[in-house]
């Protein structure tokens, strides 16, 4: 048991006064999970994620590796036990391995239970060995189709073979890989049962995600939206799915597929709201804290990092102030003609 397993008692003045007291939001949800976008840049341009001519942020606006390290370490000091590095494409970020190396000390100390990343896999073959050496045990790799031409079209130019080579390298290095797939009504719905069989056949769990209305893209997302309840029906026509308890505290609901022995997760922000047990917050690559993916609440942590280089007090106070604003939940809707629920792209916020 770590000190962070202790029950919270935020209402006592002592806890409130303790600058190291763990983070608890107004709905008594303990914040254990941080996702940080380390860059808004990406080598792919997935149709549902960003426009073809995406305007990326000026470098000066993006947190440096040192700032990212300080920020993450501060959250870990406040009880965050799971840290996911994402983007944009995290493996495109210069200095990414140094960041992982710095943060891996929290794994060794026991403060951090898991350091992980979500990647599109294009550069994984190059990085997998080092990531494993630095203490990363599991990663998520996003794959929406196994058809090379479709992959090229959906990602606007991606090379599926590179991603498969990345997955091969990750598994060879001992990393546990989970496949993330965005369910798209026209682009991959028919392929999802086969995609799942492929993933399970390679010993990889799979998580399906409903397309979310975040950031402008060139297409109307209504055309691509398909409820995961429908996908589950598709899968159940072929396999036996048995619900299993979700102990990750995350938004996914899991089922075991009896015939394959693999797990399938469903992230359903639109058709089934998952906010009650939400234990996570996100920080963008510009150092803005968002306590909810689907609401426009934000807290500027970059100013605290840059204005107070030798003093974490103002940063901690800003983090606490942000957590106090964490909303009860979001109410994403996806409706024809309606723009995105929030303007920022997933690549900036960190999916
Ligand atoms: N580039 C990396 C990748 O693709 O895995 C990490 C960042 S990406 C933003 C993280 C995840 O968000 C990916 O699995 C991607 O498919 C998903 N994603 C991006 N835009 C989305 C959207 N509008 N709705 C749902 N999922 C989205
Ligand atoms: Fe890049 Fe990931 Fe967005 Fe695709 S989903 S464009 S790989 S950030």
Answer yes or no: is 8 within a domain: no
Query: Ligand 2 mean position to 158 CA, how many Å?
Result: 10
Give the number of the ligand closest to the Cα of residue 154: 2
Please list, residue by residue across 28-43, b when 16 or more beta carbons sit within 10 angstroms of its beta carbon and e when fewer do: ebbbbbbbbbbbbbbb
Per the structure, how many domains does the chain have? 1
Decide: 88 in ligand 2 pocket, CB within 6 A. Answer: yes
Confirm whether 162 is domain-assigned: yes
- Domain-embedded: residue 105: yes
Ligand closest to 140 (CA) is: 1
Ligand 2 site, residue 120, Cβ cutoff 6 A: yes
Residue 139's CATH number: 3.20.20.70
Residue 226 domain-assigned? yes
Q: Which residues pair with 208 in a beta bridge?
A: 181, 266
Give the integer Cα–Cα distance in Å for 260 and 19. 48
Q: Is residue 12 part of a domain?
A: no
126 token code pair: 């190059």
**Residue among 63, 173, 73 nearest 129 (CA):** 173
Question: What number does the ligand 2 atom closest to the CA of 182 have?
Answer: 5
Count other Cβ atoms within 10 Å, centred on residue 22: 19
Rounded CA-CA distance 341/293 in Å is: 10
CA of 120 to the centre of ligand 1 (A): 9
Q: The whole model's pTM is what?
A: 0.90
| Residuewise pLDDT in 10s, the chain (351 residues) | 333 333 333 333 344 445 678 898 888 888 999 999 999 999 999 998 999 999 999 999 999 999 999 999 999 999 999 999 999 999 999 999 999 999 999 999 999 999 999 999 999 999 999 999 999 999 999 999 999 999 999 999 999 999 999 999 999 999 999 999 999 998 999 999 999 999 999 999 999 998 877 667 777 767 788 989 999 999 999 999 999 986 565 677 899 999 999 999 998 765 555 676 778 899 999 999 988 766 667 899 999 999 999 999 999 999 999 999 877 776 555 454 555 555 666 666 666
Range of the domain at 39: 31-349
Give the strand pairing for 280-283 and 138-142.
Answer: unpaired
Three-class DSSP category at 4: helix
Ligand 2 binding pocket includes 46 (Cβ within 6 Å): yes
Query: Cβ(143) to ligand 2 under 6 A?
Result: no
Residue with tokens 């804290």: 289
- State in Å: Cα 42 to ligand 2 middle: 6
Domain presence at residue 18: no
Tell me which H or E stretch contains 242: strand 241-244
Establish whether residue 346 lines the binding site of ligand 1, counting it when its CB lies within 6 angstroms of any ligand atom: yes
Position 1 in a domain? no
Q: Measuring from atom 4 of ligand 2, which residue has the nearest CA?
A: 46
Ligand 1 center from residue 89 Cα (angstroms)? 9
**Structure token pair of residue 13:** 């003045």
């Amino acid at each position: 048991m770590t000190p962070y397993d202790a029950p919270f008692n935020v209402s006592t003045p002592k806890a409130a006064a303790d600058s190291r007291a763990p983070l608890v939001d107004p709905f008594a949800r303990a914040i254990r999970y941080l996702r940080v976008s380390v860059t808004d840049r990406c080598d792919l341009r997935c149709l549902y994620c960003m426009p073809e001519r995406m305007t990326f942020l000026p470098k000066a606006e993006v947190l440096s590796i040192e700032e990212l390290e300080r920020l993450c370490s501060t959250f870990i000091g406040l009880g965050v036990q799971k840290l996911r590095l994402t983007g944009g494409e995290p493996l495109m970020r210069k200095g990414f391995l140094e960041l992982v190396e710095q943060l891996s000390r929290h794994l060794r100390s026991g403060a951090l239970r898991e350091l992980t990343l979500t990647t599109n896999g294009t550069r994984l073959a190059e990085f997998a060995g080092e990531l494993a050496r630095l203490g990363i045990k599991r990663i998520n790799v996003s794959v929406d189709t196994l058809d090379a031409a479709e992959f090229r079209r959906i990602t606007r130019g991606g090379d599926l073979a590179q991603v498969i080579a990345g997955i091969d390298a990750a598994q060879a290095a001992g990393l546990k890989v989970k496949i993330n797939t965005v369910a798209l009504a026209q682009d991959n719905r028919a392929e999802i049962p086969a995609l799942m069989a492929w993933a399970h056949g390679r010993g990889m769990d799979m998580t399906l995600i409903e397309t979310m209305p975040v950031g402008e893209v060139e297409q109307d997302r209504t055309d691509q939206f398909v409820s995961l309840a429908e996908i589950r029906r598709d899968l159940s026509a072929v396999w036996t799915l048995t619900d299993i308890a979700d102990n990750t505290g995350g938004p996914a609901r899991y089922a075991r597929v009896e015939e394959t022995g693999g797990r399938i997760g469903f992230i359903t922000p639109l058709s089934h709201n998952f906010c009650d047990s939400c234990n996570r917050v996100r920080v963008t690559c510009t150092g803005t804290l968002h306590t909810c993916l689907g609401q426009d609440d934000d807290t500027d942590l970059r100013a605290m990092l840059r204005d107070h280089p030798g003093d974490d007090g103002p940063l901690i106070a800003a983090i606490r102030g942000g957590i106090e604003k964490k909303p009860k939940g979001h109410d994403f809707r996806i409706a024809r003609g309606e723009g995105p629920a929030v303007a920022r792209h997933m690549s900036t916020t960190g999916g």
